[in-house]
């Protein structure tokens, strides 16, 4: 069962990468490698059930494909910062062809045929490991070095646990773990290449933990159903149920994406319905937003009218007042009325956002405009503004004015968080995501930071830690980013500063 599960998982991973909208050479080569593993494991599984030449040929074909595909994937993965050479994978491919030409018809009938193939794969694995440790030593980027180190650690763990297959030959009671461990390793590599900028191991492990909990939930559910409706029948082995649950969980996203693509092809007019098929709560949120918009307009009208009357009365009384002290009090009343009017206006903007008018825009131009707006103001002494904005970023489909407002709100908050001076940094880069590449905009400051208990609430309307803040700016920024199909989040270290990340799709809404 473990062999069949590994074949199914390999096929699923390959399909999930090949149906991506924006495929890269790294994704394609890993998908091809998984397909080679699928051929090998499928041939091995059915070869035990139906021992004939067809499945032996299937098995041998997979074994011959794995070395050149493994080397090709490894070179692209490890040399992503430069143009990788194709020579090693070409040489490995020629080696596979020579072995196939010389021995393929009788490969598994020959006494040493299978041994030659496994030694060939072992040599390719050793070559890739040497490349991996060389890449760790010479990695120019800290995040890249961490990624390679995680992969090296995963390779070591996989190799050690796979030794149980050898121990099993002498102690049959020891379980065969190689296929299970290899399935987990493949999913780990998938996470690494789909999310290449996960900076810390715990972030990768969080994703893995979510998948593991889903697998455990499916396994427990199966046993509960079996206990209720099994009628005392013999319970299948745990490893069989666990691997079945693993296959089901891994299949969810690719199958959902395939069904969505098929639905869009068959019913192109139903795009909105298909998008919300798995997010029913969006309709509830939309109704709440419409209700808030209606209430906001009424509330703003009811508040502004008396405020206008109070301000007019205060200005009239000020003009007739002969006391300097009274005139000063009337000025306080007028300024506070203006502040309330500003709060009402910002609330109205949040509750009733303007229509987005997207167009093809350059993120570099948008960010440079924001920097110009910030530096044109009177910045507090000691604040430096830096930028890391490549000019070759792909264009995005956004409303330029609203995106300027979203990022500017965050940048101005960052400036206010550095009363003693500091550095404001705006940067942008392309990152990989599950569905398509995204542009990530980062706004970083070296200011006071945000407390852990407060960072979960900063995007809520009217929540503020500033004495005179309205608490609407970040809520509006989040609303604009979500309207563009993006996400926004923040990380902070109190006393050292904060970083806000905005991620928007390259391909638009």
pLDDT in tens, 381-429: 888 899 888 888 888 888 888 888 889 889 988 888 888 889 999 999 8
Q: Does 408 lie in the same domain as 344?
A: no
| Residue pLDDT, tens place only, 103-159 | 555 555 555 666 777 787 888 888 888 888 888 877 655 667 777 888 888 888 888
pLDDT band of 441, cuts 50, 70, 90: very high
pLDDT band of 240, cuts 50, 70, 90: confident
Q: How many CA atoms lie within 13 A of 181 on its CB side?
A: 16
Q: Does 324 lie in the same domain as 235?
A: no
Would you state the pLDDT for residue 21? 65
pLDDT at position 500 over 90 = yes
Say which DSSP state 356 is in.
P
Q: Does 365 lie in the same domain as 430?
A: yes
pLDDT band of 292, cuts 50, 70, 90: low
pLDDT at position 86 over 50 = yes
- Would strands 383-388 and 422-431 be described as parallel, antiparallel, or unpaired? parallel
What's the CA gap between 362 and 418, in Å, rounded? 29
483 belongs to a structural domain: yes
- Would strands 422-431 and 396-398 be described as parallel, antiparallel, or unpaired? unpaired
Question: Phi and psi (nearest 5°) for 442?
Answer: -115, 130
pLDDT at position 452 over 70 = yes
Domain ends where: 278, 309, 343? 278
Would you state the pLDDT for residue 278? 41
Q: The domain containing residue 133 runs over which residues?
A: 2-146
Asked if residue 19 lies in contact with residue 255, where contact means CB atoms within 8 angstroms, the answer is no
Pick from 336, 356, 353: which is nearest to 297 by CA? 353
pLDDT band of 467, cuts 50, 70, 90: low
pLDDT at position 73 over 90 = no
Mean pLDDT of 77-103: 66
What's the CA gap between 426 and 374, in Å, rounded? 11
- 3-state secondary structure string, 63-85? HHHHHHHHHHHHHHHHCCCCCCC
Would you state the pLDDT for residue 507? 62
Would you state the pLDDT for residue 426? 92
**Both tokens assigned to 468:** 């005179």
Q: Does 498 lie in the same domain as 366?
A: yes
> CA quadruple 283, 288, 290, 291: dihedral positive or negative?
positive
Would you state the pLDDT for residue 264? 66
CA distances from 47 to 143, 172, 242 (A): 43, 21, 24
3-state class (DSSP) for residue 504: strand
pLDDT at position 320 over 60 = yes
Mean pLDDT of 193-215: 68
Q: How far is CA 326 from the centre of its chain?
A: 59
Q: Does 220 lie in the same domain as 135?
A: no
156, burial (CB in 10 Å: exposed 0-12, middle 13-18, buried 19+) = exposed
Q: How far is CA 444 from the centre of its chain?
A: 20
Domain ends where: 98, 116, 146? 146
pLDDT at position 34 over 80 = yes
**Higher per-residue confidence, 173 vs 199:** 173
What's the CA gap between 40 and 32, in Å, rounded? 13
Q: Does 314 lie in the same domain as 406?
A: no
> CA quadruple 81, 85, 91, 94: dihedral positive or negative?
positive
Asked if residue 35 lies in contact with residue 208, where contact means CB atoms within 8 angstroms, the answer is no
Would you state the pLDDT for residue 139? 66
Would you state the pLDDT for residue 211? 77
Q: Does 308 lie in the same domain as 239?
A: no
pLDDT band of 72, cuts 50, 70, 90: confident
Q: Does 430 lie in the same domain as 371?
A: yes
**Both tokens assigned to 81:** 């910062």
Q: Does 287 lie in the same domain as 258?
A: no
pLDDT at position 201 over 60 = no
Would you state the pLDDT for residue 242? 76
Would you state the pLDDT for residue 443? 93
Cα torsion for 280, 283, 288, 294, to the nearest 10°? Answer: 180
Q: Report the CATH number that the domain containing residue 302 is assigned in CATH.
A: 1.10.287
Number of domains in the chain: 4
**Both tokens assigned to 169:** 């030959």
**Both tokens assigned to 64:** 């011959």
16 belongs to a structural domain: yes
| Residue 6, C-beta contacts closer than 8 angstroms, at least 6 positions apart | 37, 41, 179, 180, 182, 183
pLDDT at position 506 over 70 = yes
CA distances from 84 to 24, 80, 87, 151 (A): 14, 7, 9, 19
181 belongs to a structural domain: no
440 belongs to a structural domain: yes
What's the CA gap between 144 and 135, in Å, rounded? 9
Say which DSSP state 195 is in.
S
> CA quadruple 119, 124, 125, 127: dihedral positive or negative?
positive
With a pLDDT cut of 90, the percent of the chain lying above it is 4
Would you state the pLDDT for residue 394? 85
| Residue 237, C-beta contacts closer than 8 angstroms, at least 6 positions apart | 1
pLDDT at position 435 over 70 = no
pLDDT band of 280, cuts 50, 70, 90: very low
166 belongs to a structural domain: no
| Residue 481, C-beta contacts closer than 8 angstroms, at least 6 positions apart | 406, 487, 488, 502, 504
Q: Report the CATH number that the domain containing residue 399 is assigned in CATH.
A: 3.30.565.10
Q: Does 140 lie in the same domain as 13?
A: yes
195 belongs to a structural domain: no
With a pLDDT cut of 70, the percent of the chain lying above it is 71
Domain ends where: 98, 129, 146? 146
Mean pLDDT of 426-450: 83
Q: How many CA atoms lie within 13 A of 373 on its CB side?
A: 16
Q: In what order do the strands lie in the sheet with 422-431?
A: 383-388, 422-431, 438-445, 497-505, 487-493
What's the CA gap between 207 and 214, in Å, rounded? 11
How many CB atoms lie under 10 A from the CB of residue 136? 17
3-state helix, strand, coil in the chain (%, to 5): 65, 10, 25
Q: Taking the chain, what is the end-to-end CA distance rounded to the nearest angstrom?
A: 42
Which of 3-17, 99-113, 161-175, 489-503 shows the lowest mean pLDDT across its residues? 99-113
**Both tokens assigned to 509:** 């809404």
Asked if residue 22 lies in contact with residue 264, where contact means CB atoms within 8 angstroms, the answer is no
pLDDT at position 190 over 60 = yes
3-state class (DSSP) for residue 234: coil
168 belongs to a structural domain: no
Q: Does 486 lie in the same domain as 367?
A: yes
Q: Does 81 lie in the same domain as 10?
A: yes
341 belongs to a structural domain: yes
Asked if residue 222 lies in contact with residue 234, where contact means CB atoms within 8 angstroms, the answer is no
Which of 55-69, 169-183, 388-402 shows the lowest mean pLDDT across its residues? 169-183
Would you state the pLDDT for residue 433? 61
Which of 80-84, 133-137, 268-272, 398-402 shows the lowest mean pLDDT across its residues? 80-84
> CA quadruple 318, 319, 321, 324: dihedral positive or negative?
positive
Mean pLDDT of all residues belonging to the chain: 76
Pick from 253, 140, 132: which is nearest to 189 by CA? 132
């Amino acid at each position: 069962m473990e062999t069949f599960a590994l074949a199914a998982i390999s096929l699923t991973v390959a399909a999930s990468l090949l149906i991506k909208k924006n495929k890269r050479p790294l994704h394609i080569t890993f998908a091809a490698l998984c397909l080679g593993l699928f051929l090998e494991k499928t041939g091995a599984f059915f070869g035990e059930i139906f021992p004939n030449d067809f499945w032996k040929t299937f098995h041998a074909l997979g074994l011959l494909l794995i070395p050149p595909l493994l080397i090709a994937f490894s070179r692209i993965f490890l040399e992503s910062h430069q143009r990788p050479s194709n020579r090693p994978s070409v040489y490995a491919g020629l080696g596979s062809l020579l072995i196939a030409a010389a021995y393929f018809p009788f490969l598994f009938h020959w006494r040493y045929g299978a041994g030659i193939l496994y030694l060939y794969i072992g040599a390719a694995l050793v070559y890739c490991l040497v490349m991996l440790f060389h890449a760790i030593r010479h990695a120019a980027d800290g995040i890249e070095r961490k990624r390679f180190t995680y992969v090296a650690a995963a390779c070591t763990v996989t190799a050690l646990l796979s030794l149980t297959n050898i121990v099993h030959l002498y102690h049959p009671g020891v379980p065969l773990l190689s296929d299970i461990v290899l399935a987990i390793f493949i999913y780990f590599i998938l996470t690494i290449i789909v999310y290449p900028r996960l900076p810390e191991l715990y972030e990768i492990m969080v994703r893995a933990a979510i998948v593991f909990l889903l697998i455990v939930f499916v396994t427990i559910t199966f046993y509960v159903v079996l206990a209720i409706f099994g009628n005392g029948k013999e319970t299948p082995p745990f490893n069989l149920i666990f691997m079945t649950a693993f296959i089901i969980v891994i299949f969810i996203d690719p199958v959902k994406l395939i069904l969505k693509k098929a639905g869009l092809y068959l019913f192109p007019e139903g795009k909105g319905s298909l998008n919300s098929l798995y997010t029913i709560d969006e309709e509830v949120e939309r109704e709440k937003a419409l209700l808030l918009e209606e209430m906001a307009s009424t509330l703003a009208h009811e508040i502004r009218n008396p405020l206008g009357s109070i301000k007019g009365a205060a200005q009239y009384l000020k003009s007739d007042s002969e006391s300097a002290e009274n005139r000063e009090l009337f000025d306080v009343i007028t300024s506070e009325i203006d502040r309330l009017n500003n709060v009402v206006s910002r609330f109205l903007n949040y509750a009733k956002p303007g229509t987005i008018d997207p167009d093809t825009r350059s993120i570099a131009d948008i960010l440079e405009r924001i920097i110009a707006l910030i530096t044109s103001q009177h910045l507090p002494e000691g604040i430096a503004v830096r930028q890391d904005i490549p000019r070759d970023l792909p264009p995005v489909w956004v409303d330029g004015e609203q995106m300027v407002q979203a990022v500017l709100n965050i940048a101005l908050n960052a400036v206010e968080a550095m009363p003693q001076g500091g550095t404001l940094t705006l940067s942008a880069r392309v990152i990989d995501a599950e569905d398509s590449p995204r542009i990530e905009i980062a706004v970083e400051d070296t200011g006071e930071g945000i407390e852990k208990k407060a960072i979960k609430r900063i995007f809520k309307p009217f929540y503020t830690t500033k004495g005179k803040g309205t608490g609407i700016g970040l809520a509006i920024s989040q609303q604009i980013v979500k309207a563009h199909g993006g996400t926004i989040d923040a990380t902070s270290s109190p006393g050292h500063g904060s970083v806000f990340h905005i991620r928007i799709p390259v391909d638009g809404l």
